[in-house]
Structure 1
């Protein structure tokens, strides 16, 4: 059997691309084709693509108190489901031009939770929904003190209304298990913490 990744971006033929919506985000329509695994060419087809910039997400963790900080805020995409549209999430923000993910992490830590990170450990980069969106998440764990953390934050002119909660690490893990936390970045980061918690408590306290 052939190994994975026999094709590259150069194998995709985009015959036409139009912007069909431009607002807070952008939507493009593409006419494209690409080779199939059986050797034939895929007939020309169309797809809509949600153009969204990359973002950085951080799980703030205090290795001394063994606590994390989670942010509660309204999310339109959760409206209409059998749950509250106020979600518990990570510190997060869109990457601006000429900003590194680490710079975004520090900026958003201050704006959304009043936190500064003593260090940032890379967890992973992942595509949010590659079937129809360009967005890539740069995911980190950040060392922070939770001693005086918590409160209400957010940039008002950006319509942010954020409550920062200090949560024991065990409770955050339980929230994934019972479904109270059901967004991808928080699930990945907290499960990573579960695997790396002992190491962080040794290394980050040194």
Structure 2
């Protein structure tokens, strides 16, 4: 964890869980606006940084998304636990560009030469350290080298979806698409006229 802010002094870090990823309890002194110091503690879930990408086709006016089971959504009221998402994955010590190309090929079967970075975002800064790097890339049918679906060794059971862009936007409105990163990418595509509505 970064400790270069002069208003923050981390005094203790305790590992609460180190099973799937790492959950730390961090105790720190924080200097308030009036100059006084206050001791606080927070839990921070560290899973590393990630990348996500929207695959789109101007010719077909479609996007490629995936559907997979997400346990946290299931325990929070998603009746099937299935979530429609943009391709994404952890960097695993690779650069964001290398990581997202790898993830797209594993998950969708499309091999990309070019990707375009559009922005970075913290998705849940109150509890998760992860920063996600956002990308877009245009695809053609000729870029498909496999069926995708993810790695069985990673317990990924991914369904690949090719959806008309207008339908994907409507799926946001109806709540069929509820994933934050996917909504951000679809809105970016709409605002920047990557595809027609």
TM-score, normalised to structure 1, is: 0.85
Deviates more, 1:158-167 or 1:75-84: 75-84
Cα distance, 1:16 vs. partner?
A: 1.1
The equivalent residue for 2:164 is 168
Provide the secondary structure at the position in 2 that maps to 1:112.
Answer: helix
Output one character per residue of 1:109-153: Cα deviation in whole Å (capped at 9) or x when no partner: 111000122432222100121111110100111111257969561
The equivalent residue for 2:124 is 129
Output one character per residue of 1:51-75: Cα deviation in whole Å (capped at 9) or x when no partner: 1100110110011111000100000
Q: Is the 8 A contact 1:151 1:163 kept in 2?
A: no
Whole-angstrom CA distance in 1 between matches of 2:57 and 2:25: 45
Unaligned runs of 5+ in 2: none
TM-score, normalised to structure 2, is: 0.89
The equivalent residue for 2:90 is 94
Provide the secondary structure at the position in 1 that maps to 2:115.
Answer: strand
Cα distance, 1:82 vs. partner?
A: 4.5
Cα distance, 1:37 vs. partner?
A: 2.4
1:73 paired residue among 68, 73, 76? 68
Unaligned runs of 5+ in 1: 1-7, 202-206
The structure-2 alpha-carbon separation of the partners of 1:123 and 1:148, relative to structure 1 and needing over 3 Å to count, comes to: closer
The structure-2 alpha-carbon separation of the partners of 1:197 and 1:118, relative to structure 1 and needing over 3 Å to count, comes to: farther
Q: Is the 8 A contact 2:105 2:148 kept in 1?
A: no
Provide the secondary structure at the position in 2 that maps to 1:34.
Answer: strand
1:54 matched to 2:81? The reply is no
Alpha-carbon RMSD: 2.0
Alignment length, in residue pairs?
191
Deviates more, 1:66-75 or 1:117-126: 117-126
Whole-angstrom CA distance in 2 between matches of 1:49 and 1:152: 33
The structure-2 alpha-carbon separation of the partners of 1:29 and 1:57, relative to structure 1 and needing over 3 Å to count, comes to: same
